[in-house]
Amino acid sequence: MTNKEPSPPRWAEAVLRCLLRPPDRESVSGDLLEEYRAARRPALGAVRANAWYIKHVLSVLWYLIRPYALVLAGQSILLALTVFRPGHHAPHPSPQMRPVFLSLMVKVLWYGSITGAPGVSLFDAVIYVSAASRGVQRTGLIKTGMLGAAGASVVGFTVLFAAAAFITPSLALATFANPLLFAFMLVYLLVPLAYAVLLGALAGLVVRWIVPLAPRKLGVS
Amino acid sequence: MSDVPGQFEQAVLLALIRLGRDAYGRAILNEIQGRLNRDVSAGAVYATLERLEAKGLASSRLAPGTAIRGGRARRYFMPTGAGIRALNDAKSAADSLWRGLSWPLRVRA
């Protein structure tokens, strides 16, 4: 009987359940399923109802990672302003002129990176690990950490690309005009994404190991 | 005076009062969307409900689910005494700010 009821995409339901605290897992996913079946699917049809469901799943993810995603977004804007400003060459700290530590600090603060590549810097790593730790502490699931870190990474990279396109529109247009450049951009996106997922998993393992989920968080009030 | 809840927290608390015994996630989401006349995300509502519970302004209980929700439990929310006091404080703070002004305000050219 229940199996014949229309259902949202299974992957979206799985993602939603990964993002929820154990006491909320049944009730919140049930609320969205009820609204989907009782109101959205009959009124909107399968495609738009699925889009509605996915939008709300993403909103739950957003509220989980919001502070970390905002920090990455801010860093991405600063990075874009620094690197993509036409005719501007950002000052590279010279190790001859400064102590190495200070040089690294300046570079980290200025670029958000010591590697010069967006999305894979130490600064990014700290943010990914923080987002993942918060997620795992809430749900007790390592998958939440991976999702949280990946979500923060996607937000950071999207803002970087958008800011770069705003500052240097020819750069964005060239990406879409040249298939090779587009493929390069996709790889460029996949690298920080994989980095975030890996760090999210590692942070999840560490958090699960040193901070076992408190019994009261697992119980139902 | 307790901490005055934010505007969205007030919207959620008022939805709990309006819905009474029927205040569960889906009904709260629809009530707020109807009152604010805009799309409200589930993430915002559930994050606010969680915050209200953490602040002691709302409490919840689980009840059995129905077939349409795959048998998943419903969580019903209700405002606590502190939640109602916080709403009263918020209303009196807003009234105090508006006292002496005629509404709607007129835009000066």
User: A175 lies in which domain range?
Assistant: 64-217
Residue A75 forms part of a structural domain = yes
- Say how far apart CA A15 and CA A57 lie, in whole Å: 7
Say if residue A208's pLDDT is above 60: yes
- Hey, what's the torsion of the CAs at A158, A162, A165, A168, to 10 degrees? -110
- Say how far apart CA B4 and CA B91 lie, in whole Å: 9
Cα separation of the two ends of chain A? 31
What is chain B's alpha carbon radius of gyration, rounded to the nearest angstrom? 16
| Tens of pLDDT, residues B88-97 | 999 999 999 9
Beta carbons of B86 and B57 less than 8 angstroms apart: yes
According to the model, what pLDDT value does residue A91 have?
53
| Tens of pLDDT, residues A93-131 | 455 545 566 666 655 655 555 555 677 788 889 999 999
ipTM for the predicted complex:
0.89
CB of A61 within 8 Å of a chain B CB? The answer is yes
Burial degree of A97 (CB within 10 A; 0-12, 13-18, 19+): exposed
Q: How many domains does chain A have?
A: 1
Residue A35 forms part of a structural domain = no
Say if residue B12's pLDDT is above 90: yes
Residue A121 forms part of a structural domain = yes
Residue A136 forms part of a structural domain = yes
Say if residue B99's pLDDT is above 70: yes
Cross-strand pairs, B63:
B74
Residue A111 forms part of a structural domain = yes
Residue A18 forms part of a structural domain = no
Q: Which of A30, A58, A62 sits opposite B65 (nearest CB)?
A: A30
Residues in Cβ contact with B41 at an 8 Å cutoff, skipping those fewer than 6 apart: A55, A56, A59, A62
According to the model, what pLDDT value does residue A113 have?
54
Cβ atoms < 10 Å from Cβ of A125: 18
Asked if B46 lies within 8 A of A28 by C-beta distance, the reply is yes
Say if residue B52's pLDDT is above 50: yes
According to the model, what pLDDT value does residue B53 have?
96
Average pLDDT over residues B81-107: 93
According to the model, what pLDDT value does residue A179 have?
83
Say if residue B10's pLDDT is above 50: yes
Residue A43 forms part of a structural domain = no
Closest CA to B81 of B63, B59, B61: B59
Tell me the pLDDT band of A218, cut-offs 50, 70 and 90.
very low
Say if residue B29's pLDDT is above 90: yes
Q: Which of A26, A30, A221 sits opposite B60 (nearest CB)?
A: A221
Q: Which of B46, B61, B68 sits opposite A34 (nearest CB)?
A: B68
Beta carbons of A41 and A9 less than 8 angstroms apart: no
Residue A203 forms part of a structural domain = yes
Q: Which residue has the tokens 């307790």?
A: B2
Average pLDDT over residues B88-109: 91
Tell me the pLDDT band of A3, cut-offs 50, 70 and 90.
low
